[in-house]
Each structure stands twice: as structure tokens, then as C-alpha cells.
A and B are shown apart, each in its own frame.
Chain A
Amino acid sequence: MSQTTDKKVRAVLAVILVILVVVLILLLSVAVRDVRRAKTLEQADMTRSTLSTERRSGPLSKVEVGDIAGWMTFDYVNYLFALPPQYLETTLSINDPAYPHISLNGWARHSNQNRPAVVQAVQSAVAAHTQ
């Protein structure tokens, strides 16, 4: 009885081990492909940066208008793009008392508006201000 249990457990463990090794091989092949792709992109980026004399400081990338997403709060958007606190409230006619401490999705829900349309409207308003 006990030997049967041992055999069963060993068989299950052997199967698990084989599956794990296969998964590991798959993951490693994906990793190798990604590294190769990243190297190609890096080379292209290096060529571009050699052509440009501009030096970067701080984080490697900054939020652009197109990055504005529904989970962001109005306060965060105002901060990122250095907008006057009342600019979006006035431009988008926001009457929500929670403004600016409400997410874009939250405001869309409160005002029964379509979420992508709200994000689009905010992006347009920010773009208009920054231009």
C-alpha cells in the first residue's frame, strides 16, 4: 500500500518536472527573442541619439498627451502637464464636487458619459493648452 503511494507520488512529481522543464524552455526562448528585439531597438535608438546633441536628465520618458488614460485623476493630469487647476473644469464643464480628486473613468461614470470619449476630450483639452 505504502509502496503504491510512493510510486504514485513519484510518477506525479516526474510528470510535473517534465512539464516545468518544457515551460522553462518556452519561457527562455521567448526571453531570447525579446532580448534580440530589444537589442535591435537599442541600436536604432543609439543611432538616433548620436545624431542628436540633446542630453536627457531625469526619467527616460515623460508622459505625453496620448498617454492620458482613464485611471488617471484630474489632479494628476493637471500636475503632469502643469495645467491651471480650473482649466479642465472650465473647458470640459465639469460640475462634479469631487473634482480634481476623481479619475477620468470616475467622472465618466458619474456623468453617464462614454469612457473613451472622456479620455479623448481630456487629451484634446490638454493638447490645446500645451500648444
Chain B
Amino acid sequence: MTTLVGPILSYILLYKYPVLFVVQFLSALIVPFPANTTLAAVGAFAGEGYMSLTLSFFISLAGCVAGDVAGYLIARLLQKRVTRWIKSERWAGYLKRLDKAMRRYAGLTVFITRLTPGLEILVNFMAGLAEVPFGRFLFWDTLGNTLNAVLYMGAGYLIGADWQDIIGIFGLAGGILLVLVLIAATIVVYRIVIKKD
């Protein structure tokens, strides 16, 4: 268990739902908190009857979505500044084509990256910079976060006290998915670079 998990779990046991919301919000926005480990632990607490499964699920989902939306909105506010900051025509061209690709695959990208912690934060900012329509972002974000919460909390709920063992399995699966997404992203960026205007 990482050094951060212990204190976070203590605070969740002490203050329950408000802390759960804050942890999920901050981890979705920018702070690298172990959000999925927390979800599995909360699932286990719910399985033991110490917390409510339904309430925990909706609170954590609300925290995740709120954090993602905050990241998206911050990027949208900074969008013009970032465009002005990139002065090189060549790099501006890359960015323009990257924006286009991001808008084209927005739904799939947002959905899949909800299952890959770390990339999620980057994609929120990219979606904001590329001005992906808010409704579309919110829909896929909520769907992806719902699946993520169901997976981790459900596993914690069903497995119970041995929730710490499943984290390794989920971590490995998440790692494989992360690498696959990065390969796909590298191929997309490669095609954008070789594509001539």
C-alpha cells in the first residue's frame, strides 16, 4: 500500500462522504491521489456495512466528474493564451491538426482515458484546448467514470477484506490499457506529423 493511501483511508473512515468527494475531485483535477485504490477500499467498507454503497458510488462519481469538468473548463479559459504562446507556424500547424483529431475522436478518447489514471488529467486539458463541445465531453466523461467506479467499487464490495490483493490485478490491467492508449495516441500524432498541408 502506498504511503498516501493509509492517511486517505483514515480520513475517509473518520469523515466519510465529504472526504471521498474531495479525494475524487482532486485526483481528477490534478493531484495524483490513488483514486482507484480508494474506490476499491470504499467498496469493501460498503460490503462490510460501514458505508452506504449507493451514496459512496454517487459521491465518488460526482467528485470525479466535477474534477474532470473543472480541468476542462480551466483549459477552455486558457485556450487563447496557449494558441498565442505557440508562435512557430510549424508547431501551430501540428496543434491545429491535433485539435482536429481530438475533436474527431473526443468521445472515445474521453471514455477510455477514464480507466487510465494520469492520462485522464491530460485529456481533460486537451479536450478543453480543442474546444470539444461541453455536452459531448460531459456525456462520455460520466459514462467512463461510471464504468470505472462500478469496476473498482464493485470489486472491493464483492471481494471484501482482501481488496488490497485486487489492486495489483487492476493496476496491471490499467497499465496494459494505458500503454495501448499511448500507442494509439503516438500513431495518431505520427500520422498528423507526416500529413502534408
A residues at B contact (CB < 8 Å): 2, 5-6, 9-10, 13-14, 16-17, 20-21, 23-24, 27-28, 30-31, 34, 38, 58-64, 67, 69-73, 75-76, 79-80, 101-103, 105-106
Cross-chain contact of A5 among B6, B13, B90 (Cβ < 8 A): B90
B14 touches A17 (CB 8 A): no
Complex: A70 Cα to B6 Cα, angstroms: 8
For the complex, count residues of B whose C-beta is within 8 A of A. Answer: 35
Residue of B nearest to A59 (CB): B160
Prevailing SS type, chain B contact patch: helix
Q: Report whether A60 and B158 are in contact in the complex, using a CB–CB cutoff of 8 Å.
A: yes
Give the A-binding residues of B (Cβ under 8 A): 5-7, 9-10, 13-14, 44, 47-48, 50, 90, 94, 157-162, 168-169, 172-173, 175-176, 179-180, 182-183, 186-187, 189-190, 193-194
Q: Which B residues lie within 8 Å of A63 (CB)? A: 48, 160-161
- Complex CA gap A6/B94 in Å reads 10
In the bound complex, do residue A79 and residue B180 qualify as a contact, i.e. CB atoms below 8 Å apart?
A: no
The answer to whether B176 touches A24 (Cβ under 8 A) is yes
Q: How far is the CA of A58 from the CA of B193 in the complex (A)?
A: 54
Contact A101/B14 with A20-B183, A30-B172 known, Cβ cut-off 8 Å: yes
